[in-house]
Amino acid sequence: MFQTRSRLALVGATALSAAVLSACGGGGGSDASPSTPVSTLGTLAVSMTDAPACGFDAVNVTVSKVRVHRSEGASELDTGWTDISLNPAKKINLLNLSNGVLEALGQTSLEAGRYTQLRLVLDSNGNTVVPSAGKTEQPLETPSGIQSGIKLVGNVEVTAGQKTDVVLDFDACKSVLTRGKGSYALKPVVKVVPATLNGISGVVSTALLGRSVQVSAQQNGQIVSATTPNPSTGEFVLSRLAPGNYDVVITANDSAASVVAGVPVASTSSTTVLSTAAAPILLAPGSTGSIGGTVTMTPAGTEAAYVSAKQSFAAGPTVTIKYQGADLASGAYTIDKLPVTAPQFATYTSTLPLAFSASTAAPAGKFRVEAAATGYVSKSVDNVDIGIANQSNVNFSLTR
């Protein structure tokens, strides 16, 4: 597993696969010396994908290189690094990489063996956001720490004569936060996911398109993967999921949420279908409200705080309906467009179409609101009710 050992809130997962990805760009130094026998060399290829961004029309990051080292404790100045350099640096709109789409960053030859540290290096320039339609591109404040690379540590086995593929899932929704009025900052949240394309697929009704549809796969109320449907067809893919059972949550503006419980992913090469173009998922119409407040942290730190609005089902799962990062300067947050109408619920069955019904177990307009930040004790408030009025004073004080 690759896991963070920095303050940049990265999440890691195993990323070994026999799948072959096309790779472009790259090059750079190699761990193999000129005298290394070809028979002992393997190939490491790195690509990037993205979960959807919340409330942005574009999120651009500029990648200059990917670095790999045998030692998880190596600093950026130590010897022994192998670089995949992008020359010139590549500016990537993360919003173009949803539904399993990959952006190849490059590949390099390495001596066969175990490598325990990988760093994604962003250029100090060219990282920007476009907040919404009609607004201009805004600079994205980039922490000085990522100039030495977003650090992931763990284990990647490079096998002689084979290609090992690493896919970096850059979560733009969690990575971009406000810092005061009109200013945006990057707090990178990245995980390494399997390269083989598997997961959960389906189709939402085209009548929902243009209403900020979000689809997520969750376990124990935590979002594991998220995407937005194809803007023309409504097709979606929650890709590169570890085998197991997931709860799928679908939300859209001015609609009730729909939840499918217990969706199985059998293997690293299987895809479970929830709906088809002939019978797409159509969310029930509904009104919406909002929950807001502030998050303070003691002692004050530089970590990002996230606030989630959750609902639970009797004899069923707890799921996150929506979440929002708190402003890095003020701690203020607002979760907009929360459904007041009771969610629609279905338990997965291989017989399609799925049968949804309005849930009486998850009270309409009531949420469990949770605040969390890395290194701090999470806090929650139960039964926050927006059925009658929006709630703007749901505050949290997090401590270590």
What would the DSSP string read from start to end of 271-333? EEE--BTTB-B-PPB--EEEEEEEEEEES--S--EEEEEEEE-TTS-EEEEEEEEPPTTT-EE
Q: Considering the domain 199-273, what is its CATH architecture? A: Sandwich (2.60)
User: Is the pLDDT confidence value at 308 over 90?
Assistant: yes
Fold: same for 199-273 and 288-346+353-399: yes
Q: What is the mean pLDDT of residues 48-75?
A: 89
Give per-residue pLDDT as tens, 22-61: 233 344 455 555 555 666 899 999 999 987 767 788 999 9
Q: What is the mean pLDDT of residues 96-125?
A: 91
User: Is the pLDDT confidence value at 110 over 60?
Assistant: yes
Q: What is the mean pLDDT of residues 295-313?
A: 94
d(CA 123, CA 200): 34
d(CA 215, CA 230): 11
Supply the pLDDT for residue 50: 87
Share of the chain above pLDDT 70, in %: 89
From 1, 15, 95, 17, select the one nearest 55 (Cα to Cα): 95
User: Is the pLDDT confidence value at 7 over 50?
Assistant: no
Q: Which two tokens stand for residue 345?
A: 């619920």
Supply the pLDDT for residue 16: 32
Q: What is the mean pLDDT of residues 312-334?
A: 93
State the chain's mean pLDDT as an integer: 87
- Minimum mean pLDDT among 60-69, 235-244, 355-364: which range? 355-364
User: Is the pLDDT confidence value at 360 over 70?
Assistant: yes
Q: What is the mean pLDDT of residues 261-280?
A: 96
Give per-residue pLDDT as tens, 186-217: 998 888 777 888 999 999 999 999 899 999 99
Bridge partners (DSSP) of residue 381 are 369
Q: What is the CATH number of domain 288-346+353-399?
A: 2.60.40.1120
- The ranges assigned to domains in the chain are 38-193, 199-273, 288-346+353-399
CA quadruple 354, 314, 54, 231: dihedral, nearest 10:
10
